[in-house]
Chain A
């Protein structure tokens, strides 16, 4: 059978999930699909069980914080890999800061356990149904989520690292 490409993946996901596919793009050859967060678990399960698409490997899960994007401040990015077609793709879900809940995929991939714990530890994203959602790399009594953009590193007062001079606006300054 012919190996499937990005376009065929996109068409298949769009056909199966219709309006839940919110946006898509191809970034450096890798397919990015933004979906309704509540449907991501089902989409990954569907991709995993699909005979031709056969997305069998979870590469990693990443959290991203976009403080300026109102209503979609936090992103959860799932990078998946289909070995059959040797194709990598990203599935993204954006969450508002008031409701950082998304379903766990530990039932699909055992390895998602620590990846989700790490994302929780860094960003405070809550994976519903996770068997043991605790901090992992930071200490248990830490009372904030350190990878959020509002927590700047201690050297923020250094003039030579002032972001204003280097093409990035910083609203606090």
Chain B
């Protein structure tokens, strides 16, 4: 804590301290969470958080669901980047059953996950703009996100809660329309993105508003188990994609951007650069997309084609076994982490051989880093607290599980 903030806290006169509710349904909380702030004038002296408004007991639900029925639950964690959650969960199950995933599937997954990261970061960064008073920069990226949603739609039929992919691969190969839309996206997105970037990144008003808003040091961020862009903005280059590569991330050339001060501006800039890097990864993966099947040979988990189910006895048996959850599973404990939109998204799965997990815990990056929020906003004006909240990108679905 800097000397300046200490002085503010010391000078606070109890007679002037007011208690106000920031949330649960405040337009700038972008979700339902409550902060009870104690303020002296504009300065925040202390704050207390209440979370859990949309707690849906995912971990309990997961204990009653066969593995393939858990994928839709993961959609609803960080719903700004559901495909990453879906694919992360599928990879966890694949790790448990020990299956070799074709290279093509791995590259397809990388493309989908990086598209999701772009969509996630676009929303977060444009919302930072909104909270700093720049509404135009919120509308520009939406037409770009729309294109990513169309790509999801082409691959899964859904836009927000995608339920993307299956255990063992994808439900379908990249369709001709997907190829065409992805190529056009790769062509048009960089220009549109740089236009968005030019509206905020070197904008004097935006910089003045965001620099120094909600800083956190690298030591504190580590102690709070921060991960993802928020940790990298504090200057720590930890990224699951590099530390423990999954889905062939080691094949791609990309850099991990880091910040210096861990404040709102650094978080914004780290996300902006990550979008550029994600684009690089997509280009590399798409250019080198291997030939092959879009699914692993995994009849125990991967639903057979409908035409086979009607005409082939074996396929019908597999179909029945998968739908009824009769597949034999190994006993064991796995932890698998992916780099989600907000950081290390982990699945800790304990299997007792039954058709549902014995215990499934989600490591939700939002839940873990949101507890640092009171420390980050101490001594700042309320308007900075709003910016800090949007720049750490707390997603209510992921926070409350």
Contact = CB atoms under 8 A, between A and B. Distances in A.
The dominant DSSP class at the A interface is mixed
B354 A138 contact: no
Contacts of A138: 52, 55
The dominant DSSP class at the B interface is mixed
Q: Could you say which of A122, A137, A151, A161 has the most chain B C-beta atoms within 10 Å of its C-beta? A: A137
Nearest to B98: A28
B400 interface: yes
Contact of A109 (B95, B225, B335, B348): B225
B60 A153 contact: yes
A83 to B, nearest CB: 7
Contact of A163 (B354, B361, B363): B354
Interface string B41-60: 00000000001100101011
B352 interface: yes
Interface residues of A, number: 41
A110 B363 contact: no
Interface residues of B, number: 49
A75 to B, nearest CB: 9
Interface in A101-152: 109-111, 113-115, 118, 122, 136-139, 146-147, 151
A60 B52 contact: no
B368 interface: yes
Contacts of A114: 367-368, 370-371
Contacts of B238: 57, 83
B350 to A, nearest CB: 6
Contacts of A27: 332-334
Interface of A: 27-28, 30, 32, 56-60, 62, 64-65, 77, 79, 83, 86, 88, 90, 109-111, 113-115, 118, 122, 136-139, 146-147, 151, 153, 155, 160-161, 163, 166-168
8 contacts: A30-B333, A59-B225, A79-B346, A79-B348, A88-B335, A111-B368, A114-B371, A153-B63
